[in-house]
Structure 1
Amino acid sequence: MGKDLYDEFPAAKELFDRADEILGIPLSRICFEGPEDELQQTQNTQPAIAVTSLALLRVATDLNPDLLDRPSFVAGHSLGEYPALVAAGALGFDDAIRLLRTRGELMAAAGKSRPGTMAAVIGLDVSECEDVCRESGAEICTINAPGQIVIGGPRDSVIRALDYAQARGAKKVIPLSVSGAFHSSLMRSAAEGMVNPVATTTFSDLQVPVVANCTATAISDVTTVRNELVDQVHRPVQWARTVEFLGEQGVDTFIEFGPGRVLSGIIKRMLRRSTCITVNSAESVHVEL
């Protein structure tokens, strides 16, 4: 992840090298060489995805300085909210990487102290999933798109929930390989652990509104940002509502910076007339609007 950028663009190399220095671990080596099980540890995954996303952003905007001239909004899914805040001018790169490493460590610890798992439920709406969760003891963790919801909780609860979801007509249920029930009440200790790191980090005034994961509303003041970064650890990610909000605001062009293209796919399905540009590799950083 990110090796092509690192090799081709000095600006990207600078960010990966800086992340290694900040964290005191060979994050770039983990990104480029693995092993996969080490990269998949959430304390590594979170800063790894963030530095890759921000390297893509840096290179693309270096090549086209007008690319992000006065964007209407920025948004990020889960850990992606941190790179979004960097893009909005609210958070420095160094602080974002430090906070995400801490966030990952706290979430990993919470996953050990209160074990849980997650699963995707395809084909049920939110109210149906809420019923399933009430019956099983699971919780909704992310609402990614209409009919595409991730639930989580104790393993037994999630297993029951999948049986109930199938009985209600879910098209597909997909157990996820994760180390905890992220964005659920099982992560409350991790959220509490983020309070002090977030409170002691310097934030600047936002130059662009950020659409918050927890509320799917635009936020632009530092106090609300701090609260959001704590709350989003143990509350559901409202991504479908985020996309709906952006569509209602008249946004019709989206640029996704990151190692995948999942969010662009969701946006395109929900807002069929939108233009979605994915910047996820060295080959895709030359963007013209």
Structure 2
Amino acid sequence: MPKTALLFPGQGAQAVGMGKGLLERSAKARELFAEASSILGFDLAKLCTEGPEAELHLTNNSQPALFVHSMAALAVFLEDKPECLDSVAAVAGLSLGEYSALCAAGAISFADGVRLVKERGAAMQESASAIASGMASVLGLEESQVAELCDLARQPGEVLQVANLLCPGNIAISGQIASLDAAEQLAPEAGASRFIRLNVAGAFHTDIMKPAVERLAAAIAQTNLQPLRFPLIANVDAGEHRVPSELAGLLTRQMVSPVLWEASLRKLLSLGVDQFYEIGAGRVLAGTLKRIDRKTPCECFGD
């Protein structure tokens, strides 16, 4: 039997129109969007399918939108391929996508997942609004070179650091705007092929998010965490985790720690995974896998 892994995208994958195909096709998808809308207090399906774009890109909206879209996509995926659950070796999600992965593994209910990402998004939006900051992808450099670029560009008293180790040659950095501006100017000289600002509200996975940690921890403490049906490969250490008591620490650490996505994919490959599925918006995760292992297939399932 093949070994499969389910991957779930993170913030930045959102786009107006997401979910339209799922809603048209599946009663279960419509049910999930309706349940989420009731919890959130606004029409999530309308926001996802019609926008406005600026509203969808707000952190407190994009995080629930991506979570619900991934869960709706998973429901439709399993309607088509129910046998896949028997071959799942592990799950993983990029940043926000870790909540989708946990829901897929049965650690949190759908309703609790919506509540958690709503609280996470609101807390991160609040932290981001307090300090002008952001993220950028640096292409074409190794981790040590990106770290050196951050050291050179970091302005006095500011934060600028590696935030997401996505795949070879694609590393995201987070920090305050003046430091990011300096990094953008220095990047070509450092050998970077591209410097791309990311469509996020702030410097995620840095200490700038520290004020959000306490708020998220309180929300997690109110959540009924269940044993995982299959292990989570966690962002913060690329290790296998099944025990509910470990989850609160993993999720709160993730807010202020780099995402070890390349290491997570390599861990999944070392477990013998020979078929990946990216469940949700976009195709970013399939692209990162291709940079690591071109032979192992990754099928994308969104709309």
Counterpart in the other structure of 2:13 = none
By how many angstroms is 1:47 displaced? 0.8
The 2-side partners of 1:241 and 1:223 are apart by: 23
By how many angstroms is 1:249 displaced? 1.8
Counterpart in the other structure of 2:23 = 6
2:136 matches 1:110: no
Q: What are structure 2's unaligned runs of at least 5 residues?
A: 1-17, 155-159
Aligned partner letter, 1:87: A
By how many angstroms is 1:96 displaced? 0.5
Counterpart in the other structure of 2:50 = 33
2:183 matches 1:161: yes
Alpha carbons 2:57, 2:199 under 8 Å: kept = no
Q: Secondary structure of the residue that 1:214 maps to in structure 2?
A: coil
2:276 matches 1:261: no
Match of 1:55 among 60, 66, 72: 72
Q: Secondary structure of the residue that 1:67 maps to in structure 2?
A: helix
By how many angstroms is 1:269 displaced? 2.4
Counterpart in the other structure of 1:224 = 246
Counterpart in the other structure of 1:24 = 41
The 1-side partners of 2:174 and 2:150 are apart by: 9
By how many angstroms is 1:185 displaced? 1.3
By how many angstroms is 1:164 displaced? 2.9
2:163 matches 1:141: yes
Q: Which has the higher contact order (CA 8 A, sep 6+)?
A: 2
By how many angstroms is 1:244 displaced? 1.3
The aligned runs of 1:205-244 (5 Å cut-off) are 205-244=227-266
Deviation track 1:3-53 (CA, whole Å, cap 9, x = no partner) reads 111122101100000100111111111111110001011111011111111
The count of aligned residue pairs is 281
The 1-side partners of 2:42 and 2:253 are apart by: 28
The 2-side partners of 1:148 and 1:192 are apart by: 30
Deviation track 1:70-93 (CA, whole Å, cap 9, x = no partner) reads 410000001100110011111100
Question: What is the Cα-based RMSD across aligned positions, in Å?
Answer: 1.2
The 2-side partners of 1:68 and 1:88 are apart by: 10
Counterpart in the other structure of 2:199 = 177
By how many angstroms is 1:197 displaced? 0.4
The 2-side partners of 1:86 and 1:175 are apart by: 30
Q: Secondary structure of the residue that 1:78 maps to in structure 2?
A: coil
Alpha carbons 2:143, 2:171 under 8 Å: kept = yes
Match of 1:46 among 63, 88, 94: 63
Cα distance change of structure 1 residues 132 and 87 upon mapping to structure 2, 3 Å threshold: same
Aligned partner letter, 1:50: F
Match of 2:212 among 190, 214, 225: 190
The 2-side partners of 1:229 and 1:28 are apart by: 27
Counterpart in the other structure of 1:287 = none
Counterpart in the other structure of 2:81 = 64
Aligned partner letter, 1:60: F
Counterpart in the other structure of 1:123 = 140
Aligned partner letter, 2:294: R
Cα distance change of structure 1 residues 109 and 207 upon mapping to structure 2, 3 Å threshold: same
By how many angstroms is 1:141 displaced? 1.1
By how many angstroms is 1:183 displaced? 1.2
2:126 matches 1:97: no
The 2-side partners of 1:148 and 1:205 are apart by: 34
Deviation track 1:158-190 (CA, whole Å, cap 9, x = no partner) reads 112223332211111112233111111111111
Q: Secondary structure of the residue that 2:276 maps to in structure 1?
A: strand
Aligned partner letter, 2:210: R
Q: TM-score, normalised by structure 2?
A: 0.90
Moved more, 8-17 or 269-278: 269-278
2:173 matches 1:151: yes
2:103 matches 1:86: yes
The 2-side partners of 1:15 and 1:23 are apart by: 12
By how many angstroms is 1:268 displaced? 2.1
